[in-house]
Structure formats: C-alpha cells, structure tokens
Structure 1
Amino acid sequence: MMLTTHSRGWRRPAAVVLAALALGVTAACGGDDEASGDTVTLHFTWWGNADRADLTEQAIDMFEAEHPDIRIETSFAEFNAYWEKMATQIAGGSAPDILQMDYRYVREYAERNVLREFNVDGVDVDTSAMEPGLLKAGEIDGTAYAIPMSQNTQALLYDPAAWAAAGEQAPGEEWSWDDLEQGGAAVAAAGEVAALSDFGQIEDWFEVWLRQQGKELYTEDGELGYTTDDVAAYWTFTNGLREAGIVSPAEETATMDGSQANSPLAKQTSAAEFNYDSGLTADSWEIYGRELALAPFPTDGGELGQYAKPSMLICISQRSEHPEEAAQFIDFLLNDIEVGELLGTSRGMPANAEVREAIGADLEGPPLLAYEFEQALLPQLADAPAPPPRGAGSVKAAFQRIYDDVIFGSATPEDAAARFIAEAEQALAQ
C-alpha cells in the first residue's frame, strides 16, 4: 500500500502518514486551521500512480498561487489500497474534505451521508460544459453528490509486436471472443509470456460481456441484473483460457490489484490486458517497456457493450468545515483551461468539453493514442448506467475474491458462481 502526502512541494514519508492516520492525526476537514491563522487547509485524496500525482501537485500549486488563503494537502494510493484507507478514515470520522470517487460507490457513500450535495448553500461548481448523460453518473434521484472529473471507456491494451510475431492479425474493431481465444493461443505459443492478463476476476470486464448480451449489472430496482448461469459461463470461459495457457497463471492473477506494479502487462509477462483508456499517460511506454496499442472489446454480435464512463468523480465530504472553499478548488480543477492543459489525459478525457477540445491538438504519445481511440469510438458508446446500489462495492470485491477459488481449483466455476450470487444478494440486502 502506498500513501503519499503533498503540501507546497513537501512529501511526507508514507510510513509516517499511515501512522498518523492510525492515530487519527490528520489534516482532513480543515482540522489545523487554528495553527495556520486565516489559512484554510483542505485535504484532497485520490487513487492513481506517481505520474498522476506529480501533475496533480502542479495543478494544486497553481491553485494555491491564485488562492494564498487556501492550502491543499493531498494523499494518494493505488485503487484497492485507496478504498481500504477511505473506509478506515470514514469509520474513524476523519474523511478528507475532497475525495476522488468511483461511480460504483457514489450511491453507497451518498446514502450513508458521507457526501455533501452540490449546488446548495454556496457549494457551487460550474458543470455547463459537461454532458448531461455523464453528470447523471454522480446524481441520486436528481441530486448531485459527485461531479465527473473525466470520462473514459473500456479497452484492450496490447503489444502489437507480440501479435505480429505470432503471425496473428492485431485485435481490431471487428473481432470476436473466438478471435481472442484463437489469436491468444498463437501468441502464447509463439513466446514465453501469456497472451493476456487473466480478466476473469474483474467485475468491470464482466459488465461489458453482460451488456453485449443485453443485460446490466443492476436493475433499476437495485437488484442483480444477471444470474448464476451468467457468472458460471463467464468464469468457465476465462478459466478455460487459463488452463490453455492463454492468460496469466493463477499465482500471478491473485496478485493483480489494479496497480501497475502488479500488472502482468507492465511486468512484461503478458502481451495484452483489459483496462481503461485513461490509464495511458505520457510515461506509459516507459512504464510498460514498449509501445502498445488499443482495441475495443471483442464481441460476438452487434452490441459493443462499452460506454462513456466517468473515469472518476470528485466529491466533498459531509464533514468538511469548508465546503465552499472545497467547491472553489473543484471548479478550478475541472474548468480552468490552463489546468486542463497541464493535467491532459492523466485522469482520462476531461469531462469539460471546452477543456477536452483545448488539449486535443497538443497531445502526443500515449495520451494522443487514448484520445484518438475514444474519439473514434464515441458513436458506439452508450451513456453510463446510473450509480449502482448500496453494497455494490462489496459485490465487486467478492467477484474478485471468489474467482481466486476457481483459478486455484478449490471450486468449480458453477459452485463459485452460486456462492458469489448468494454473497452479492446478501450485500445488496444490507
């Protein structure tokens, strides 16, 4: 777990931060204002890597230069570690003033009274340049609790050289799941790496597979939109790929946690990986050790299943003592053109259409690849689903945890699917 804090160029060692949080010593909710005179201190926390952090810190420096009476302290972690820490902070009453949010958790956190409403009592952020369909991903019954920072979509990130070396046609717009299996077998046979990172444990990729069949993760009533048979069929397919040596082995799959440090593609032990296009930053080719390409998901029919998803949203804690200043910072982060040009696509394509247009002409390298991929795919992308019901975070975690039993042979796909459905229904009923 990595946690890093920032204040005007200073980084506190991670171990110190973790110890401070464990003791409840935190700058969250403006708790140290008395020590800093008239300066308002806000704590902003997000998930991401060091590359995203460096850009975010530069943006914060720009904000602080324009607003010397507001100081922003930050922390970040990889995705899984972020949510573990967030749960601990909220349970301990030390939620940050401003927090990055995944749309799967919006409803859960809002209904637990963790999030403050926008556009009331001076907590205003201009969203006029954002698509209404995207904004709905942060709304519960018409009330905005989260605002999209950016948008992205699902994609296959792959090594074109590995596919070419195997004599296989690179993944493209018209390719099927059979193409993936057959091409993946050839890639794996031609080299010493898996063709793909195992994608069976990630609910996000299961969702695309479901949507291609006309189903959803959740119904309008907040119930599961799929059955035990659907999960069993998906896990039977992915587990079969593992048994054939096409996807990463169980020992490696079990370490995958959403971080680049544990990504088989980044470790160069696989030649492709399902991901979000927002994962591409200026340093991506250095991180992955070679140039990669993007392709849409395979599909066996006319339905792509992908959608324009808020790659992340931003919220204000209900406990923040300075919500107006927090909203002021959020407005600056999302709507300032100069900040948008600095951040580029580090969190995905900017949600603000004016900022998105401004950065498009100057992109290069991996961010340009992501931008062009998404622009080309936009006509086929659906609107994001409404925020999932309370308990969806536990369902997502169970999906990954129970799949481990499949890949290690302690449960069949059918038995594991039945156990998962029972746990998922219990989580949604709480």
Structure 2
Amino acid sequence: MKRKKIVCLLLSGLLTMGLVSGCGSSSSDEGGDAKNETKTEDTKKDDAAKEEASGDKITLRMAWWGSQTRHDATNKVIEMYEEQNPNVDIEAEFYDFDSYFTKLDTLVAAEDPWDIIQMGGNFPKYENSIEYLDSYIEDGTIDVSDTTDAFLKTTQNNNGDQVGISVGTNTYGIAYDPAMFEEAGVPEPTDDWTWDEWKDACLKITEELGVYGSSKMDNFIAGVTQRVSQAEKDANFFNMEGTGLAWDDPEPIADYFAMIQELTEAGAYPDAGAIKEIKDIENDYLVTGDAAMTWVASNQINSIVNAAGREIKVAPVPRMEKDGAYGMIVQSSQMLCVSKTSEYKQEAAKFINYFVNDIEANKVLNGERGVPIMTEVRETVKAQADDSSKMIYDFVDKIGNFPVENSNVISPEPKTEIEDYDKLLIEKVQYGEMTPEEAADDLLEFAKGKF
C-alpha cells in the first residue's frame, strides 16, 4: 500500500492576491475570447471524462476540519477507497476549524477549491463554488434509496437544490462531569433545565471546587440564534430567505451577555484569554478537569469522552423557561460537496457515494461526524457502538423527539462575520468595556448593516 500524502496546516494569514482584468478590447474580440475560453473548458471536461473512463490515474483533493479521531478515520477510509479504485489518488488535507475556512476562502478566491469539500451550515457563502448533486442522484452515481426526503432536505438550499450529502446528523448539548456535580452538591441537569439553573450550577461549582463552572460556550448559538427562538416560539434571528434579520429585540441577547459577564467576574467562566488557550477538544477545560461543563456538538461526544478518560454525560442546552421552546432541532452536522471547478466531478461524486453508503467504510467512520442518514449504515454503526457512541444516538433521538419548532438551519453569507463580531462584543462585555445592553444593541445594528 502506498504511503498517504497528508497535509496538516495551521494558517497564519490569507495570501495576498491580485485580480487582473483586461481592458480596451472590442466587442468582437471579447466574443472571440469567450468562444476560445468555452472551447478550452469543454476540452478540459472531455479530457477528464476520457481519463475517468480509461482508468488513467485521477487525483482528487479533499479537505476537512475536526479532531484527531476524525482525521485518522477519514484517512483510513480514503485508503480503503483507493485500494478498490487503484486509478484514484486522493490528496487529503485537514485543519482546525478556523484554519480550514481561511484556506477555503483563499482557494475560492483563486477559483481552485478542493474537489471534495466538507461544508457546514454556512454553505450559502460558498454556494457559487459548489456543484449541485441532483443530476448525480438522478443518474444513480449517488444512491439515496436508503434515506428519506427529510434527511436530504437538511443539505438543500431554499430552492430545493441538493448542495451536498449529509455525512451525519447532529445537534448541540452541554457535556458535564457528574462526579463534579455530586462533589459540589449540585443536582444533575434535567431535560428541561433553564439558563438560570445553568448559571447557578456554574457559580456553585466554582465556589465549592475552585474550577470553572463551564468551559467555553458557543455564544452565538446559545446567546443569539437559539436564544431568539427560545424567547419567542417559531422566531428566528435570520429570516428564512437569508436576506436579512427576522428579529430586532435586543433584550434576550443582552440578558445572555449579562449572564456571561457575571460568571466571568465570579471566575466561573473563562475570560477571552483563557478561551484562546482552548485549541481543540483534547484540551478543553472539561477534558482537563478544569471545568465541570462545556458546550458540545453531539458528534463530538465520543471524542470528548475518550479524551477525558472518565464518565461524561450530556444534557440538552438549557431553555429560558422550563415549559418554553427549545429553540433548536436536529440538523446536518457536515456534508460533502463537489467543487464546481473540479475536473473530475463524476469521480468526486462516486467517492461521496462510497463515503455515505459503504458499510465497511462507515464501520471505520463510526458516526463520528454525526448520526448517519442511511438506514442500514445507521443500524450497523449503532450496533457496534461503545457506550459513549451510544450516548450520541440516544441524545440525538431525545432531541429529535422534542416538539419541532420553525427553526432556520440555513446560515446566510454574512453569518460568519456577524458571529465574529459577537465574539468581539462578548470580550468587550467580559472586560467591562461595554455594558450588555450596549453590546446587544451594537450586535443588532451591525447585523442589519450586513444585508
């Protein structure tokens, strides 16, 4: 077996790129250039099709973000696919989350993204660079006969175009150490616990044990998008069309800012400097024993339990009121997409089909990206699951049975910039540079200005 070429990079910044456009051409010249360009592109497609059909060596580039567990499993599946398809060589790159999208932004600007792209809910930002998969489903290249329309819709845009294929369904929760709760004399979370109960637990644990009550939270989901949906049934921060905001009341957001400020001042929540020390799951403060709780995506439960090496449980995200809306639903964790500029789209689609349908491959992947969407795969993986993996299935099933609200799972293009601004505002509130009310007003004004 040939040795895999793996690239593991942490980027320090974007490449500076110059865009040069021609000028002064006549309309006839432009027409001639367009014809030549079309012919060149058609020739490329013909050459790629011939290579795929002839069995000549094809190189696909693929990248993803995630934990070491994900890296190892994905690399193994790539090797398995290459053994079965000796004419295919897949060059793999993996990154931490932030570096992944920094690199992807650079590649998109150069019109040269990876052939196979791992994508999340921020796909609208990159949709112009993604090949829709409808035709590959229609011709059988990607087999979706063992899943449902509901699962397929988790990776469709508002027009119903199949942007990618989900490689796992996912939701969010609070991972916690039950032994720490018991030692601090704090009751374990219930399925309907509230943010007030979460805050009180953080304060009590810090007082009794001298550790953070909670490690870092996803403050944009917990404090903005989900919180808005908890504040009012069927409410959403972004509108369904992805063209603006559907919310303009700063009060629930300000309340969340105030809670984080209170916990930070009490030493029950890490300040911005301490949060920057958390690079991945393996050194999260819950894992290291320096916190009793942390925010967790359900597909990360297995990794965080294994990294901690002790009993860890997971609870639903707190609500604003015990009988109030939960504000979040099960959704696609990540999906695999095909680049619109790939020379080997058909071969990329074939690999995606293998990734989501092959039983042996999914025994290796073990549902690490989330609960699989294919029925046979899902049942196979669940049957081999250890206790921490079974926790994922049980937790996703639990959240999936909560009353369904009209939650918007598609993130509009400005979402990343708005989320980054929210992080900055949290830091300003933590350091006393802004009041929670000022920060909430500022966030809404900033977000409105991005559309």
TM-score, normalisation: structure 1: 0.87
Counting only pairs closer than 5 Å after superposition, residues 156-235 of structure 1 correspond to structure 2 as: 156-199=174-217, 201-203=219-221, 206-213=224-231, 214=233, 215-222=235-242, 223-227=244-248, 228-235=250-257
Contact in 1 for aligned 2:5/2:92 (Cα 8 Å):
no
2:60 to 19, 28, 42: 42
Greater Cα shift, 53-62 or 129-138: 129-138
1:402 counterpart residue number: 425
Deviation readout 1:380-402 (Å, 9 max, x if unpaired): 16386342222222222222232
2:69 to 51, 56, 60: 51
Contact in 2 for aligned 1:306/1:381 (Cα 8 Å):
no
1:294 counterpart residue number: 314
SS in structure 2 at match of 1:142: coil
1:3 counterpart residue number: none
Contact in 2 for aligned 1:150/1:311 (Cα 8 Å):
yes
Contact in 2 for aligned 1:284/1:366 (Cα 8 Å):
no
Query: What is the CA–CA distance in structure 1 between the aligned matches of 2:11 and 2:415, rounded to whole Å?
Result: 27
1:312 counterpart residue number: 334
Contact in 1 for aligned 2:115/2:339 (Cα 8 Å):
yes
Deviation readout 1:348-370 (Å, 9 max, x if unpaired): 11122221111112111321221
**In the alignment, residue 361 of structure 2 is paired with which amino acid?**
V
Query: What is the CA–CA distance in structure 1 between the aligned matches of 2:222 and 2:375, rounded to whole Å?
Result: 25
Higher radius of gyration, 1 or 2: 2
Percent identity among equivalent residues?
26
Contact in 1 for aligned 2:66/2:95 (Cα 8 Å):
yes
Greater Cα shift, 308-317 or 183-192: 183-192
1:4 counterpart residue number: none
SS in structure 1 at match of 2:130: coil
Contact in 1 for aligned 2:171/2:396 (Cα 8 Å):
yes
Q: Does 1:118 align with 2:133?
A: yes
1:138 Cα deviation after fit:
2.0
Deviation readout 1:254-281 (Å, 9 max, x if unpaired): 4456x22552223332110111110023
Contact in 2 for aligned 1:123/1:327 (Cα 8 Å):
no
Counting only pairs closer than 5 Å after superposition, residues 233-252 of structure 1 correspond to structure 2 as: 233-252=255-274
1:139 to 132, 144, 156: 156
1:271 counterpart residue number: 292
Aligned pair in 2 of structure 1 residues 312, 69: CA closer, same or farther (>3 Å)?
same
1:96 Cα deviation after fit:
0.2
**In the alignment, residue 371 of structure 1 is paired with which amino acid?**
Y
**In the alignment, residue 168 of structure 2 is paired with which amino acid?**
S
1:97 counterpart residue number: 115
Deviation readout 1:129-186 (Å, 9 max, x if unpaired): 3342332232220111122110011111001110000111111213222221222221
2:4 to 7, 10, 31: 10
SS in structure 2 at match of 1:143: coil
1:198 Cα deviation after fit:
3.9
Query: What is the CA–CA distance in structure 1 between the aligned matches of 2:362 and 2:221, rounded to whole Å?
Result: 30
SS in structure 2 at match of 1:139: coil
Greater Cα shift, 305-314 or 201-210: 201-210
**In the alignment, residue 220 of structure 1 is paired with which amino acid?**
M
SS in structure 1 at match of 2:217: coil
2:98 counterpart residue number: 80
Unpaired runs of 5+ residues, structure 2, are 18-44
Query: What is the CA–CA distance in structure 2 between the aligned matches of 1:187 and 1:177, rounded to whole Å?
Result: 15
Greater Cα shift, 220-229 or 365-374: 220-229
1:107 counterpart residue number: 124
Contact in 1 for aligned 2:6/2:93 (Cα 8 Å):
no
Please report the RMSD computed on the Cα atoms of aligned residues, expressed in angstroms. 2.9
Unpaired runs of 5+ residues, structure 1, are 1-6
Contact in 1 for aligned 2:7/2:94 (Cα 8 Å):
no
Aligned pair in 2 of structure 1 residues 240, 388: CA closer, same or farther (>3 Å)?
same
Q: Does 1:148 align with 2:166?
A: yes
Contact in 1 for aligned 2:260/2:430 (Cα 8 Å):
no
Query: What is the CA–CA distance in structure 1 between the aligned matches of 2:305 and 2:402, rounded to whole Å?
Result: 27
1:94 Cα deviation after fit:
2.4
Deviation readout 1:196-225 (Å, 9 max, x if unpaired): 124263335632222222221211243223
SS in structure 2 at match of 1:184: helix
1:329 Cα deviation after fit:
0.1
2:386 to 346, 357, 364: 364
Query: What is the CA–CA distance in structure 2 between the aligned matches of 1:200 and 1:335, rounded to whole Å?
Result: 32
Q: Does 1:128 align with 2:122?
A: no
Deviation readout 1:2-57 (Å, 9 max, x if unpaired): xxxxx954345646x979x9699xxxx999x99xx911110111111111111111
Aligned pair in 2 of structure 1 residues 292, 303: CA closer, same or farther (>3 Å)?
same
1:411 counterpart residue number: 434
Aligned pair in 2 of structure 1 residues 249, 23: CA closer, same or farther (>3 Å)?
closer
Residue correspondences, number: 409
1:389 counterpart residue number: 412
1:320 Cα deviation after fit:
0.3
2:305 to 281, 285, 292: 285
